[in-house]
Amino acid sequence: MTNPSDIVWHEQTVDRAAREANLGQRGVVVWFTGLSGCGKSTVANELEHQLNQLGRATILLDGDNIRHGLCAPPSGLRDEHGEEFADRFGLGFGAIDREENIRRIGSVAALMASAGLITLTAFVSPYRKDRDRVRKIVESSGAVGDFLEVFVDTPLEICEARDPKGLYKKARAGEIKNFTGISDPYEAPKQPEIHLAGNAEATPRQQAAEVLAELTRRGIVSVSAPQGQ
Ligand SMILES: Nc1ncnc2c1ncn2[C@@H]1O[C@H](COP(=O)(O)OS(=O)(=O)O)[C@@H](OP(=O)(O)O)[C@H]1O
Ligand SMILES: Nc1ncnc2c1ncn2[C@@H]1O[C@H](COP(=O)(O)OP(=O)(O)O)[C@@H](O)[C@H]1O
């Protein structure tokens, strides 16, 4: 078994401040959470577009995409890596699988932020404890204020009516187990930095602008172009 003391942290010459200075911005994590179909991907996508227009360096990590690679299900690993590997490292939707999913994404997001990127993530991330752990990882590798939780608070009825992938229908029919909001819990954030209330009137563009306004208010984004441009 590996002894943790055999693994020693290596200090690097180029630090976060140097990377951020080159980009002319501060690295942060903007963490979208909410039910499937609430609009996380759409709003995060639109926000990345708006940030991109402002010349900011960004990255968007999206649940559906990340589950095609870093957090693939067992079925996505079996052919290439075999049964034992797939069962050990493949992730589904049980509570422990979600915990590991969010732990991996959280570590990646913290790395992206320390590269100076405005890091947007869109994961259901239904468990408060898992999200709070990511907050801790991000803040301990940077500073308090580097993690902003965005609660996309679209009511279940609206998400279910949208059902763009037909998953709610399958979940209601019992064809998908552990489906968030139907047969699995969603623990709403208690004090999210940004609360996008379940208002069927607000367009994704307006919701993204609401997040951008908060980033601006906090000094993470300024309306002028980044340094050096
Ligand atoms: N059981 C169950 N519960 C919730 N969601 C499910 C499930 N099975 C598949 N899907 C699809 O997977 C997407 C959620 O993946 P995430 O990585 O964001 O989930 S989690 O954060 O680990 O809870 C989610 O994507 P979004 O609809 O974009 O949220 C669904 O399309
Ligand atoms: N503010 C909104 N108003 C109306 N429809 C929306 C809004 N935000 C997202 N949608 C639609 O809802 C569906 C689910 O959005 P999506 O971003 O895929 O959600 P999630 O990533 O949370 O699963 C999509 O068809 C999208 O076009």
Cα separation, 181 vs 174, in Å, equals: 13
CA 37 – ligand 2 centroid, Å: 5
Nearest alpha-carbon partner for 45 in 28, 35, 30, 67: 30
Ligand nearest the Cα atom of residue 152: 2
pLDDT band of 229, cuts 50, 70, 90:
very low
Q: Is residue 225 part of a domain?
A: no
Interface predicted TM-score (ipTM) of this complex, two decimals: 0.99
* Residue 132, in any domain of the structure: yes
**What CATH number has the domain bearing residue 153?**
3.40.50.300
* DSSP H/E element including 61: strand 58-62
Q: Identify whether 11 is part of a domain.
A: no
Residue 17 lies in a domain: no
Domain range for 93 = 23-217
| pLDDT of 226 higher than 60 | no
37 is in an annotated binding site: yes
Q: Quick check: helix, strand or coil at residue 62?
A: strand
Does 153 sit in the ligand 2 pocket, CB within 6 Å?
no
CB atoms within 10 A of CB 153: 18
Would you state the pLDDT for residue 63?
A: 86
Per-residue pLDDT of 205-217, as tens digits, reads: 999 999 999 999 9
Select, from the ranges 64-68, 211-215, 219-223, the one with the highest average predicted confidence (pLDDT).
211-215
Residue 228 has pLDDT above 50, yes or no: no
* Gap between the Cα atoms of 175 and 28, Å rounded: 38
Please indicate, yes or no, if residue 2 is contained in any of the structural domains: no
Position 224 in a domain: no
On whether residue 229 sits in a domain, the answer given is no
Contact 73, 92 (CB under 8 A): yes
Ligand having the closest approach to the CA of 66: 1
Q: How many structural domains compose the chain?
A: 1
For every residue of 180-225, DSSP letters joined together read BTTTB-----SS-SEEEE--TT--HHHHHHHHHHHHHHTTSS-SSP
39 lines ligand 2 (CB under 6 A): yes
- Check whether 71 is labelled as a binding-site residue: no
